[in-house]
Amino acid sequence: MAKQSLRDLKKEETWHVLARTSFELALEKGLDGFTIEDVVQRAHYSRRTFANHFSCKEEAVAMAVVSLSSAEGDQQREEVLREVDSLPAEGSPLEALEQWLRMNFTANLLRKLRELVVLSKSYPTLEPYVLNVLHRLQAAAQIELQRVCGDRYVQGYPHLLVGAVFGAVLSVLEGEVQVQLPGEEPREEPDAMTFDEFLKMTFGYLKNGF
């Protein structure tokens, strides 16, 4: 992989700062409670710089979800990457997908995704950008699963498998299924389960049938 230039690194960091600042303002004030000018003033950039990275504040807010993760999240990824590398070369697609999900869906990402989905319910103009974020994550999972599956399965199998799992995760983000995300206080609902328990249940159904 080619080493990034200092200019590219600076551009990438600017993207992250603007996205995270937009997301913070959206949580603080609601999507209608701030402007692009508020974003650039807090982030110490110009409107022109913002326009070079994002088409609108809705896009910036949504892209914060795929922005820089915390050091804790990076450590989790490294641990799971070691587990993925230890899987057999022709391991189960379900095992590979579950490991990918645990690697990428850190506590920080899950919390941001849920906050973003909740925001989009109050501000419909945000919905297309939320869908774009989810599609990006889903496409990344499909690429990884396709790499693992190769040509051992019929065409479209990775897409069907990833679609089923992402549909289940979306039900959590939208609050249709009561699940306690990592780092959250235990819920009072008697039927609430942890996210780890939810993943085990989901993949158990996929492995053994409904």
User: What single string gives the DSSP state of each residue in 169-204?
Assistant: HHHHHTTSS-EE-TTSPPPS-TT-EEHHHHHHHHHH
CA distances to 94, 132, 172 from 107, rounded to whole Å, are 21, 20, 13
Q: How far apart are CA 21 and CA 23, in angstroms?
A: 5
Specify the DSSP class assigned to residue 33. G
Q: What is the pLDDT of residue 73?
A: 44
CATH of 6-64 among 1.20.140, 1.10.3470, 2.40.50, 1.10.10: 1.10.10
pLDDT tens digits, 89-133:
556 888 889 988 988 888 888 999 999 999 999 999 999 999 999
Q: What is the pLDDT of residue 52?
A: 96
- Residues 6 or more apart from 127 whose CB is under 8 A from it? 120
Q: What is the pLDDT of residue 69?
A: 43
Neighbours of 60 (CB within 10 A): 25
Q: Across-strand partners of 193?
A: 179
CA distances to 6, 92, 121, 187, 205 from 112, rounded to whole Å, are 29, 30, 14, 18, 27
pLDDT less than 70: residues of the chain:
1-4, 68-91, 187-190, 210
Enumerate helices (H) and strands (E) in the chain, giving the number of each.
10, 2
Q: How far apart are CA 36 and CA 55, in angstroms?
A: 11
Q: What is the pLDDT of residue 10?
A: 87
- Residues 6 or more apart from 94 whose CB is under 8 A from it? 161, 203, 206, 207
Using a cut of 0.85, tell me whether the model's pTM lies above it: no
Q: What is the pLDDT of residue 210?
A: 63
Q: What is the pLDDT of residue 3?
A: 62
